[in-house]
Amino acid sequence: MSEKYLVQPDLAYIDELEGLGADTLKKCFQCATCSVACPIAPEDSPFPRKEMIAASWGLKDKLQCSGDIWLCHECGDCSDLCPRGARPGDVLSAIRYSAIKEYSQPKFLANAVEDPKKLPLLIAIPGLWFALLAFITMTAGETMTKIFHTIGIEWSHGGHGIAQANFFSTWFVDLTFIPLSICVAVVFGLSLKRFVIDIHENAVAEGKTDKKTIDIKALLQALVSIIPVVLKHDKFNECEANQDRATAHMMVLYSFIGLAVVTGIFCVVLYVFHIPGPYSQLNPVKWLGNISGAALVIGSLLMIKNRLAKKDQVSAYKDWYILGVVLSLGLTGLLTEMTRLAGYAEVTYFLYWLHLIAIFNLFAFLPFSKMAHLVYRTTAMAYAEYGNRK
């Protein structure tokens, strides 16, 4: 059955998409080659041709609550085969980023992350904050040690020799990132609630499901069932022309998982067993951290190389921002470790300051940056599984 579109063109939305790298969308003459070429589009109402039509009409409401835009894995196969050079893969990427901005709150942060002129501010704010923490740690360390000692808390977790905690108190670092993580989780939770309701209402309106309400338990079961698909990048691997992108993508994903595991273990070691770092290089958890850090650097460099090599693919600021943050995170982390081992204390502390700024940018702006696609896509894949949309 053909779909009915309520046509309410939004010219500002078309301009926004063009600014996000979809400047070719009007070249589409609706031949449907892309939908045939896409290896992962469902047979029932495949993408991305219908999204190209909707985008050229500026149908913002229809596109932003579509679960299908998130099923695309941005492999670029369709763009390679489009006879008009309309680059549907890039258009879908722009639509997704616009949806991230739409769902995330507060809006001023979403706008700041998208605006290259605001980049110095995004670096300066955490930069000044961590410089202040370093100043307090260095100048008031002894006083703080005494005050905390009287209430039975160990203030400095720094070991002997060069230790990051001697420059940035572990307490300060944790008291920055723990509340920040909670805020990010709340923002994501509220955004995802609206997102799931919208894609469900859209699916009902388009006749893709006959379930009027969402069965949360079944949706969570679907979420659990698609986690192996996400971890193995099964969908990404179904793409053909650009399979090399899957390798870089997997390296970055697994390095984040590895670093999260390492951080969790060392938190337990520090706060439960009261053993401060730095930890021995012979420690297997340390190996995991070093391997994950190296994989993060290599994976992000491969992503940058792939982008630079694809002359026909548009890379907007949103793409470079997140790649820059990920690469900075990996590089500063590895260099902090290497200079610490080499005994260059000042260089180590400076690199660790840069590392903290990179972590802050990754965490604080996660709901607003392109990285949010991990959460939205996983949710949309779970909804597709729940709705039996194969």
DSSP 278: P
Q: Which of 13, 63, 64, 74 binds ligand SF4 (CB under 6 A)?
A: 74
Between 24 and 292, name the residue whose CB sits nearer to ligand SF4.
24
Enumerate the H helices of the chain as residue ranges. 11-19, 33-37, 49-56, 60-64, 68-71, 77-81, 88-103, 107-114, 119-150, 170-205, 216-232, 234-238, 244-271, 284-309, 317-342, 345-364, 373-386
Whether the ω angle into residue 48 lies within 30 degrees of 0, i.e. cis, is yes
Q: Is 40 in the site for ligand SF4 (CB under 6 A)?
A: yes
| 60 and 68 Cβ atoms separated by less than 8 Å | no
Q: Is 307 in the site for ligand SF4 (CB under 6 A)?
A: no
Q: Which of 10, 19, 26, 33 binds ligand SF4 (CB under 6 A)?
A: 33
Give the shortest CB-45-to-ligand SF4 separation in angstroms: 13
Phi-psi region of 277 (alpha: psi -120 to 50; beta: other; left: phi over 0): beta
* Per-residue tokens: 80: 């390679």
Estimate to the nearest angstrom the gap between the alpha carbon of 126 and the chain centroid. Answer: 19
CA distance 338 to 212: 57
Give the shortest CB-246-to-ligand SF4 separation in angstroms: 11
Q: Is 323 in the site for ligand SF4 (CB under 6 A)?
A: no
Q: Is 319 in the site for ligand SF4 (CB under 6 A)?
A: no
The torsion defined by the Cα of 48, 54, 60 and 65, in degrees rounded to 10, comes to: -50
Between 28 and 325, name the residue whose CB sits nearer to ligand SF4.
28
Own/partner contacts of 229-232, CB < 8 Å, gap of 24 or more, are 229/381, 230/378, 230/381
Q: Among all chains, which residue has been given the structure tokens 């961590």? A: 130
Q: Is 16 in the site for ligand SF4 (CB under 6 A)?
A: no
Q: Which of 20, 72, 259, 358 binds ligand SF4 (CB under 6 A)?
A: 72
Binding mask 222-241 for ligand SF4 (x = CB under 6 A): -----------------x--
Give the shortest CB-26-to-ligand SF4 separation in angstroms: 10
* CB neighbourhood size of 160 (10 A): 8
| Binding residues among 87-106 for ligand SF4 as defined by CB under 6 A | 88-89, 92
Between 87 and 157, name the residue whose CB sits nearer to ligand SF4.
87
Q: Is 34 in the site for ligand SF4 (CB under 6 A)?
A: yes
Q: Is 158 in the site for ligand SF4 (CB under 6 A)?
A: no
Q: Is 262 in the site for ligand SF4 (CB under 6 A)?
A: no
- Given the rule CB under 6 A, which of 48-56, 183-191, 194-202, 282-290 is the region that contacts ligand SF4? 48-56
- Given the rule CB under 6 A, which of 42-50, 126-134, 160-168, 268-276 is the region that contacts ligand SF4? 42-50
Q: Which of 14, 17, 22, 52 binds ligand SF4 (CB under 6 A)?
A: 52
DSSP string, 47-81: TTHHHHHHHHTT-HHHHHT-SHHHH-----HHHHH
Q: Which of 21, 22, 49, 95 binds ligand SF4 (CB under 6 A)?
A: 49
Q: Is 31 in the site for ligand SF4 (CB under 6 A)?
A: yes
CA distance 197 to 214: 8
Binding site for ligand SF4 (CB under 6 A): 28-34, 37-38, 40-41, 47-49, 52, 72-78, 82, 84, 86, 88-89, 92, 239
